[in-house]
Chain A
Amino acid sequence: MLRGTKSGLEFVFASEAGEAELSDLVARLAERPDFYRGSRATAIFHGAPLEETGFGGFLATVREHGIELDGIYGAAEVEALAQRHALPYLGEPPRPVVTALGQRRPRRVVASLTDRARSLDADFAGAREDIARRRARGEPSVAKPDFSKPATPRAVPPAAVAAVPAAPAGPATLYHRGTLRGGQILQQIGNIVVVGDVNPGAELVASGDILVFGALRGTAHAGAQGDAGARVAALELAPTQLRIAAYIAADDARRKPREPEVAFVRDERIAIAPHGRAGLR
C-alpha cells in the first residue's frame, strides 16, 4: 500500500509481503509516472521482507519514478537487507496512528472538526500548504471537475440552451467564443481558449494552459492537476486571482496592463512577463 503522511510517502507491506502487493504498487506508480517525482519515502515491512530479487525490483521502480527512499522499517531481519542496499535501517515499524491510516478525507457535513480546524487562525498561505500536502498524499490539489455530467445546468427556462458547452472527456482544448459572465465556469482536462472577456466572478479551470483573447478579470487556474509548467496568457491580464498548479497569486495593486502578458511559475512564485519576451515562445 502507498500512503502519504506529514513526513512523506510510505510504502507499506503487510504481513504476507508478496508479488501481488509489489505489482500493485508498480501499477499505481505507473498510473502517474511523474506525480511523485522528487518525493521522499520510507518502506515499512510489517512481516517478512521481500525476497532479494523482489526488493531489487522495488528499489529500481521507486528510483525510476524519481522517489528517494530514506530508509526501511521492519523486524530485525530487515536490517540485513537494508545494509546490503546501503539504506538506513530505521527500526521497528512505527505504531499506526489513527489519522495516518490512509483514508481519503470523507465527505461529511461540518459536524465535528478537530481543534485545529476550529481555530480561527486562518491564513492565505495555510491554504497553499494544505493543497501541497494533499498532493503529496495523492489527492488532487483541487477538486477535479466532474466530467460524467455536463457543465452545471443554468437556472433558465426549459426552452433555453445551456450557456456553456459540456466538456468532452480526454485531453483536448476547449474553445469558447463570447464573454464569460460572473458565476459561469469552464472546466477542462486540457487547455482552454476564450475569445472574449472573462468577467469578475467567472472561473476557468484547466489541467493545461489558459489563453484569453480579451480581458481576463475573473479567476483562472491553469495546471489544475499539478502541472506547474502551465501558463496563463491574456490580452489584458487583470485577474481577480491567478492559480497555477498549487500556486496562488493575487495582485493587490490594481494593475492596468497595456500589452498582452503571460503568467508562469518561476522560483516557487507566479511571475508575469510581457508576451513574447522571456523566451516563452
Chain B
Amino acid sequence: MAGRRIVITSGKGGVGKTTTTANLGAALAKRGRKVVLVDTDIGLRNLDLVLGVEKRIVFDLVEVVEGRCEVRQALIRDKRFPSLHLLPAAQTRDKTAVSEAQMDALIGELAEGADFVLIDCPAGIEHGFRNALAGAREGIVVTTPEVSAIRDADRVVGKLKERALPHSLIVNRIRPEMVASGEMMSVDDVREVLRTDVLGIIPDDEEVIDTTNRGEPLVLDPNQRLAPIYLKIARRLEGEKIPLTRLESPTLLTKLFSMWKAG
C-alpha cells in the first residue's frame, strides 16, 4: 500500500512549516514509520539545515528529476532516526526547473516505499507552491494566531479546496498568557475564520530557534517541552483520537490552589 502524501503549507512565510515538517517527520519515524521528507523550496532550501544534514548533500531533487542520479542516491538517511530520509532541494537552481507533472511522478515513486511522504512547501502561492501541491494528496496548513498569517492561510485553504485536497490545521507559536489577556487570538478564533479541523496546537518556545540553528529536531530530546506535543500530533495524524490540550493560562482559582499546595 502506498504511503500518505502530505504537503505542509501556510501561505505566509516564517510560521513554522519547515520546523513542523522536520519535527513531525521525526516523531513519525520515532514511532517506527518509514518517512521521506521532501524539500521543494528550490533555491532557498532550509529543511536540510533544520535536520542538520546540510553537509551530506550529494544529489538533490532537481538532479533526480533530470535523470542525472537515482532517487536512492539523492536520499539522505538521518543517522538518528534510521527510518527517516530527506530528499533535499537544489540551491543553485530555481523553482521553474521542475514541473508539476514531474513533481507528482516523483512523490508517487517515493510513496511506494514509505509510510509517509511529507512535502515541505515554500512560502507564497507561486510556482513553487503549486509544485508542492501537485505531489500531495492531503495537506496540513500551519498558521500562527495572527491576522496576516490567518489571511494567508485562508487563501491557501481555498487553493487546497480547489484541488479537493483534504486538510487540517496546526496553530503554531501560541502564547497562552497573551490569549488570556486578550492580546492574541485564541485557537477558537482561528478555527472560526478558517473553518478547518485542528490537528495540533503548538505553544511558542524559545528553544525552537536554537534547535533549528543547530540542526537538532526538538523531538530528539524528551526533555524538550514541545517533544511530546509533536508526538501527539503524529498519533493524531495516524487516526488516534486524542483531545487537544487546552493551553490557556491557569485561572486565578487554579493559581491559588497551586500556591496553597506549594505551601
Contact = CB atoms under 8 A, between A and B. Distances in A.
Nearest to B34: A120
Interface in A116-137: 116-124, 126-127, 130
A168 B72 CA distance: 35
Interface stretch (A182-190, A226-234, A264-272): A182-190
B109 interface: yes
Contacts of B256: none
Contacts of B36: 120
A251 interface: yes
B75 A111 contact: no
Contact of A241 (B55, B63, B101, B106): B55
Contacts of B64: 110
B65 A110 contact: yes
Tell me the interface secondary structure of chain A in the complex.
loop
A272 B207 CA distance: 35
A118 B105 contact: no
A248 B113 CA distance: 27
The size bracket of the interface on A is 35 or more
A94 interface: no
Interface residues of B, number: 37
B56 interface: yes
B225 to A, nearest CB: 26
Contacts of A182: 91
Interface in B167-217: none
A97 interface: no
A143 B76 contact: no
B72 A122 contact: yes
Contacts of B12: none
A121 B70 CA distance: 12
Contacts of B75: 120, 122
A225 interface: no
B67 A120 contact: no
Contacts of A107: 66-68
A39 interface: no
Given A109-B65, A118-B71, 18 more contacts: A106-B67, A107-B67, A108-B67, A109-B105, A110-B67, A110-B106, A113-B71, A116-B72, A118-B112, A122-B85, A123-B77, A126-B72, A127-B58, A152-B93, A155-B94, A183-B91, A202-B92, A251-B55
16 contacts: A107-B66, A108-B67, A109-B102, A117-B70, A117-B71, A120-B114, A124-B58, A126-B72, A127-B59, A127-B69, A143-B63, A152-B92, A152-B93, A183-B43, A241-B55, A241-B57
